[in-house]
């Protein structure tokens, strides 16, 4: 077991700054924390304790996550708009459609769209319209009575 780390205010503030910068640059908190030096970044459990004990820190975390959502959305647009490798020009000047790149970009866009719809469904999820008015009526039929009458 690793030795426990003492988190004074300066060290804690630096760790939070590093985590938030990583999230802002598109990484998940889990990947930042799991791949970091324990003397600089706390465990995921410790980080979650900090969030649950500090409302202001929780709000900042939520805001930086929203910023990451916007970054992912921008990545989707950039991937969709990038047509640089969609066509290959052969030595004899023929243009060939590069289906491998197009399919890979489609997968990248779809993966990001799916992730955004799960991370922030209100903003990026599919919207369904629900109509609460019922124009059809259902007629209740007592089936058991019909069978008794036939006997």
Domains held by the chain: number: 1
Is the residue at 151 inside a domain? no
Has residue 86 been placed in a domain? yes
Residue 4: inside a domain, yes or no? Answer: no
User: Residue 30 has what pLDDT?
Assistant: 93
What are the C-alpha distances in Å from 117 to residues 66, 120, 123? 13, 6, 8
Tell me what pLDDT residue 2 has.
Answer: 58
Inside any domain, residue 107: yes
What is the domain-level CATH number for residue 58?
1.10.10.60
Q: What averages of pLDDT result for each successive group of 10 residues across the chain (151 residues)?
A: 77 95 93 91 94 96 94 94 86 88 95 93 80 66 59 54
* 138: in domain: no
DSSP 27-40: --HHHHHHTS-TTT
At residue 143, the pLDDT reads 61
Residue 95 lies in a domain: yes
136 in any annotated domain: no
Report if residue 92 sits inside a domain: yes
Give the residue ranges of DSSP H helices in the chain. 9-24, 29-34, 44-53, 55-81, 99-119, 121-124, 143-150
Segments forming the whole domain that contains residue 120: 9-124
Predicted local confidence at residue 139, as pLDDT: 64
């Amino acid at each position: 077991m690793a030795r426990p780390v003492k988190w004074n205010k300066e060290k804690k503030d630096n760790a939070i700054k590093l985590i938030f910068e990583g999230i802002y640059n598109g990484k998940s908190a889990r990947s930042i924390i799991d791949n970091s030096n324990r003397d600089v970044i706390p465990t995921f459990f410790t980080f979650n304790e900090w969030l649950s004990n500090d409302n202001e820190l929780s709000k900042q975390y939520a805001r930086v996550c929203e910023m990451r959502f916007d970054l992912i959305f921008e990545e989707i647009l950039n991937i969709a708009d990038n047509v640089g490798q969609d066509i290959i020009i052969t030595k004899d000047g023929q243009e060939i459609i590069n289906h491998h790149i197009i399919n890979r970009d489609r997968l990248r866009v779809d993966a990001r769209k799916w992730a955004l719809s799960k991370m922030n469904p209100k903003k990026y999820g599919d919207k369904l319209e629900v109509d609460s008015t019922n124009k059809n009526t259902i007629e209740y039929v007592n089936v058991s009575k019909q069978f008794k009458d036939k006997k």
